[in-house]
A and B are shown apart, each in its own frame.
Chain A
């Protein structure tokens, strides 16, 4: 400890190196994902136009008007060799040009961004609320292990975790919307409202999907947080602190939480990666027209440009959130010094 500052500086440069390393890896990952999505559309057996247009339409056009086919191919950037197409595709992605939707005849970017907004309205509050609930309950259950809360919550979350979210959503829908008639059956807003009334109406429509999401995520957050608290509680430095006579609340906030929240933050970061399309099931059941619903309809209509963009957006979002988690972990945890 003679030269604390020199050590500190070295730590910082080490950390910078680690973070740079992670950034490079994730850039590589994004490139890989972009390539995979190209391969998925272009290297599938048969003419990619068949996949884009669907069997019937492809053969109809092929026999009636072969020139139109070439034109369509050009429009989708499907003329030229595979290498040329790949380069062109990369250029388009860099310019954020994702092409035209086949079924809706609008720019894919427009459609997806509009839907994304509605998904975020649902997913952002859900993530934040469940993070809070999960942390509070988890900390209490872990700190008073085998206490009342722990004995109730642990089996409950175990069971709830095994029910798929679409099933929970259906159960909520039948119970609260059909039986008790407390909430609207589906959709995002009633028509013809503006200003404050509109916002209130949207929030009313949001209640059920939001609570299903919060419920399912709180369960997994609770399990994680509880196990982190228990893990840290068993460490020897906690025993030392208790033996030294540090008050219990101080042990909890100063020593246990400081360490237990670290992995929890990482988990939360990873959850932000699911924000874009982690709510597919809930959106489908409650007819919430967000990303999940767009994805679902695009798949059943074989609308490849939209699928491609959803694939890219989801994957990139996950990569970004995982790099965020890594970087935060490295920055927050003073123990990490190696790659």
Chain B
């Protein structure tokens, strides 16, 4: 596994860039207390300072160090993204697996459900759901979960439908191996790469949604994410006064992180191109 990734890392430029970007942001989140010069919540006197040696990205409207906010913000943004993506992927791939494996009535019901959910997922509905579910981190994760599982379910179902027709699975079923064992021992390893790819995409998607929600002020105010910083930069006149050191860094962080997750899903693409010719 690790050998494969290393090989891919050396050959595939897009994948390499993605991994580097992600490592950068993940280490930023992990090492936040070491990197950040100040406590992001601490009020450090003068508000609205320009960037200087003491405050690399200046201070915000109530005198908090923006660079420290940004570094700690990576924790919240990544956390929401990863938790939501794990929930979405688990839900989606379970439904997809069950539907694809058992076929018949179960599949029909789940397909209709998936189609319904496919027409629903989109930002406005997530926003409204968060409005109904009360704002905050949990509401956000639940809302993302409700609206985003269908894509994964559809992809996984299609793959499982293919795999279950393979001779060795059919033979095992004839031999009377339990469904549970077949599913987890032989089907899960085969769909693992697809599920991982979908998961990486979901993290990106969830982070994007989180940014938008926090930007509208629907996130949790006690925990500052990048979207939250952007919210304050926009609503507390940071944008109007053209304080680029306030609104530009969170935008760069969000986009860089998103790009990282999208590029990582290019894993294996160079190999498939080689096979194709």
**Given A274-B122, A277-B124, A278-B123, A299–B131 Cβ distance below 8 Å?**
yes
**Interface flag for B251 (CB, 8 Å):** yes
**Given A299-B218, A300-B217, A314–B254 Cβ distance below 8 Å?**
no
The smallest beta-carbon distance between A321 and chain B, in angstroms, is 8
Contact B212 A281 (CB under 8 A): yes
Contact B123 A280 (CB under 8 A): yes
**Given A29-B119, A158-B262, A164–B254 Cβ distance below 8 Å?**
yes
What CA separation (Å) do A161 and B258 show in the bound complex? 9
What CA separation (Å) do A159 and B218 show in the bound complex? 26
What CA separation (Å) do A284 and B212 show in the bound complex? 11
What CA separation (Å) do A30 and B5 show in the bound complex? 46
**Interface flag for A259 (CB, 8 Å):** no
Contact B125 A311 (CB under 8 A): yes
| Interface size grouping (class) on chain B | 35 or more
Provide the residues of chain A in CB contact with B131, threshold 8 Å: 298-299, 302, 307
What CA separation (Å) do A307 and B128 show in the bound complex? 7
Chain B residue at smallest Cβ distance from A318: B119
Provide the B225-241 mask, 1 if CB < 8 A to any CB of A, else 0.
Answer: 00000100010000110
Contact B132 A44 (CB under 8 A): yes
Provide the residues of chain A in CB contact with B204, threshold 8 Å: 162
Chain A residue at smallest Cβ distance from B256: A162
> Which of A167, A278, A314, A319: most chain B Cβ within 10 A?
A167
What CA separation (Å) do A311 and B240 show in the bound complex? 32
The smallest beta-carbon distance between B119 and chain A, in angstroms, is 4
**Interface flag for B120 (CB, 8 Å):** yes
Provide the residues of chain A in CB contact with B124, threshold 8 Å: 274, 276-278, 280, 292, 295, 310, 314
Provide the residues of chain A in CB contact with B125, threshold 8 Å: 311, 314-315
Provide the residues of chain B in CB contact with A315, threshold 8 Å: 119-120, 125
What CA separation (Å) do A314 and B128 show in the bound complex? 10
Interface residues of B in 133-177 (CB under 8 A from A): none
Contact A29 B116 (CB under 8 A): yes
Contact B122 A311 (CB under 8 A): no
Interface residues of B in 155-205 (CB under 8 A from A): 204
Provide the residues of chain A in CB contact with B132, threshold 8 Å: 40-41, 44, 307, 311
Contact A174 B247 (CB under 8 A): yes
**Given A179-B242, A278-B122, A300-B217, A171–B262 Cβ distance below 8 Å?**
no
**Interface flag for A273 (CB, 8 Å):** yes
The smallest beta-carbon distance between A267 and chain B, in angstroms, is 13
Provide the residues of chain B in CB contact with A163, threshold 8 Å: 251, 254-255, 258
**Given A164-B254, A311-B125, A318–B212 Cβ distance below 8 Å?**
no
**Interface flag for A173 (CB, 8 Å):** yes
Provide the residues of chain B in CB contact with A336, threshold 8 Å: none
Chain A residue at smallest Cβ distance from B130: A299
Contact A167 B127 (CB under 8 A): no
State which of B128, B244, B254 has its C-beta within 8 Å of the C-beta of A295: B128
The smallest beta-carbon distance between A77 and chain B, in angstroms, is 18
Provide the residues of chain A in CB contact with B89, threshold 8 Å: none
The smallest beta-carbon distance between A273 and chain B, in angstroms, is 7
Provide the residues of chain B in CB contact with A296, threshold 8 Å: 127, 216
Chain B residue at smallest Cβ distance from A162: B258
What CA separation (Å) do A242 and B125 show in the bound complex? 47
**Given A25-B115, A299-B131, A174–B255 Cβ distance below 8 Å?**
no
Provide the A242-279 mask, 1 if CB < 8 A to any CB of B, else 0.
Answer: 00000000000000000000000000000001101110
**Interface flag for A32 (CB, 8 Å):** yes
Interface residues of A in 280-339 (CB under 8 A from B): 280-281, 284-285, 292, 295-296, 298-300, 302, 307, 310-311, 314-315, 318-319, 322
What CA separation (Å) do A273 and B239 show in the bound complex? 31
**Given A41-B132, A310-B124, A164–B259 Cβ distance below 8 Å?**
no
Interface residues of A in 139-172 (CB under 8 A from B): 158-159, 161-167, 170-171
**Interface flag for B64 (CB, 8 Å):** no
Provide the residues of chain A in CB contact with B262, threshold 8 Å: 158, 161-162
Contact A170 B251 (CB under 8 A): yes
What CA separation (Å) do A311 and B244 show in the bound complex? 35
**Interface flag for A178 (CB, 8 Å):** yes
What CA separation (Å) do A165 and B128 show in the bound complex? 18
Provide the residues of chain A in CB contact with B267, threshold 8 Å: none
What CA separation (Å) do A298 and B218 show in the bound complex? 12
Interface residues of B in 84-135 (CB under 8 A from A): 112, 115-116, 118-120, 122-125, 127-132
The smallest beta-carbon distance between A32 and chain B, in angstroms, is 7
**Interface flag for B78 (CB, 8 Å):** no
Contact A318 B120 (CB under 8 A): yes
Contact B215 A166 (CB under 8 A): yes
What CA separation (Å) do A276 and B128 show in the bound complex? 13
Contact A299 B128 (CB under 8 A): yes
Chain B residue at smallest Cβ distance from A270: B119
Task: Contacts A273-B122, A318-B122 known; list 4 others, CB within 8 Å.
Answer: A273-B119, A295-B128, A300-B217, A322-B118
Residues of B within 8 A of A (CB): 112, 115-116, 118-120, 122-125, 127-132, 204, 208, 211-212, 215-218, 230, 234, 239-240, 242, 244, 247, 251, 254-255, 258-259, 262
Residue pairs across A and B with Cβ atoms less than 8 A apart, 10 shown, are A41-B132, A162-B259, A163-B258, A166-B212, A166-B215, A170-B239, A178-B242, A299-B131, A315-B125, A319-B119
